[in-house]
Structure 1
């Protein structure tokens, strides 16, 4: 942990207040100039806005889909074989690596892909849409891909939580005259609240740091429409070779992640 985590963090922080680092043997101290350059860059705020949209929509959709599918798999209305089949189908996105997911959806969302074919066949559109290349659809498209890839984590965790709720609580609610909807509001959700909060915090941390999916589908384009904080920092370092500015951007992201981690750890301690 010391070698692989603490030392790199200290090095990046030191780079963020220097200039001419890595590629130059005579770095010079510049103070907070790199931070000022990042915080006055319009692309940085575009990346912040895109990251907030990408994260917010993904986390909410993950929760809604995960809870819906978990309740479907926990219901007594379906047979054992049907539940087993649904478990296999719903868990599939969680089994694929990011590279496979990116390539798969790039093929499906291409102008000649299956998505456009189905929409044209159904009469919903007239011509193929450049889902990942259009400024109007690129951000919603990558957000949808992330939602599809991430909801099984919520589903599995919430399904375990649902199966751990005592049946006595539902029987008592039934005796008190509560219908299914009231049982969901007053029994199911309160029992799942600790799990939902913990997963949502983790999901926010993970989603704000999502890089591979964005880079392998849109690369932050077109024209910064899908630029995230992760891709913005990467481009500063390895496309523009401004390692000092990239380090400043990385430190800003680190501070943001530390705030989220603080609330997550605090919640876990209060839960314990």
Structure 2
């Protein structure tokens, strides 16, 4: 009997250990459950609904939409307005990303220079980062005032004799795309500047000293030391900025609204107008799905790059 009692007492804790182990296994999933539910509710489900809308005609406004399959995609992909918006988006994006990289690199190298005193360096850092602090709406209002025919920029250009008459930069088809691109460049370069400045501060000064000993000048040091050290940062930031710029909406909508005559029509404003101006929700959903597909391609490259850096 005594041996049986000892065996029972020895076997009793086993179910508790099993219960405790099961709880420990479930605990991580319970912790991430709220985040998973939010992602499902705010991202996965809406994306699935939009994809579904793109396969039907007369959705939202019609209680009995008609399934049309890929017909909406054929209509959008053969639309001159869509390709016009795509072309504007391409020009706007490529010019913005390249300018962000060049200006951000130039300012980062200037602020990282040892020849500049500490106090002026701090002042310039505060000044150069200001565009990144403003929201897109504030930037749009500010530049609309500056580029107004009676604004500061036209006053300076006419005073210097660069132009004879005031130019409506945002109201002329030939200058509107250039104007919004300049605005986006001005508001976005601090992101590159800050990131590249952090990268430059992590580059060992011994590498530059060794390059100088070998007789390398400024440009040779830049090509052989600076660029290789910053290449991972530049690549990741370029892909990230590419995603952000292609989806720029607030700045365009608050400055030109996609006009004049579609000169600044982007894919974002094109999709918005289809949905809320023309009430063509099926076509708007189709356009949004195409933009999502293009963004996913860029996102895949970005994630793969991040994994390579982590390894």
- Scaled by the length of structure 1, what TM-score is found? 0.99
Q: CA deviation at 1:125?
A: 0.9
Aligned to 2:47: 9
User: 2: distance between equivalents of 1:20 and 1:64?
Assistant: 46
User: 2: distance between equivalents of 1:258 and 1:76?
Assistant: 41
1:90-109 deviation digits (Å, cap 9, x = unpaired): 00100101110000000110
RMSD of the alignment, in Å?
A: 0.6
Aligned to 2:93: 55
Q: CA deviation at 1:162?
A: 0.2
| Equivalences, count | 272
Query: Within the alignment, does 1:101 sit opposite 2:135 as a pair?
Result: no
Aligned to 1:28: 66
Contiguous gaps of at least 5 residues in structure 1 = none
1:225-260 deviation digits (Å, cap 9, x = unpaired): 000000000000000000001000000000000000
Higher relative contact order (CA 8 A, sep 6+): 1
User: 2: distance between equivalents of 1:55 and 1:20?
Assistant: 32
Within the candidate set 176, 189, 194, 2:227 is matched to 189
Query: Within the alignment, does 1:115 sit opposite 2:153 as a pair?
Result: yes
Query: Within the alignment, does 1:244 sit opposite 2:282 as a pair?
Result: yes
Q: CA deviation at 1:174?
A: 1.7
- Scaled by the length of structure 2, what TM-score is found? 0.87
Aligned to 1:269: 307
Query: Within the alignment, does 1:139 sit opposite 2:177 as a pair?
Result: yes
Q: CA deviation at 1:39?
A: 0.7
Aligned to 2:77: 39
Aligned to 2:212: 174
User: 1: distance between equivalents of 2:74 and 2:217?
Assistant: 57
User: 2: distance between equivalents of 1:217 and 1:148?
Assistant: 14
1:105-139 deviation digits (Å, cap 9, x = unpaired): 00110100000000011111111101001011000
More displaced, 172-181 or 137-146? Answer: 172-181
Contiguous gaps of at least 5 residues in structure 2 = 1-38
Give 3-state SS (helix, strand or coil) of 1:137's partner: helix
Within the candidate set 110, 120, 123, 1:82 is matched to 120
Give 3-state SS (helix, strand or coil) of 2:157's partner: helix
Q: Which has the larger radius of gyration?
A: 2
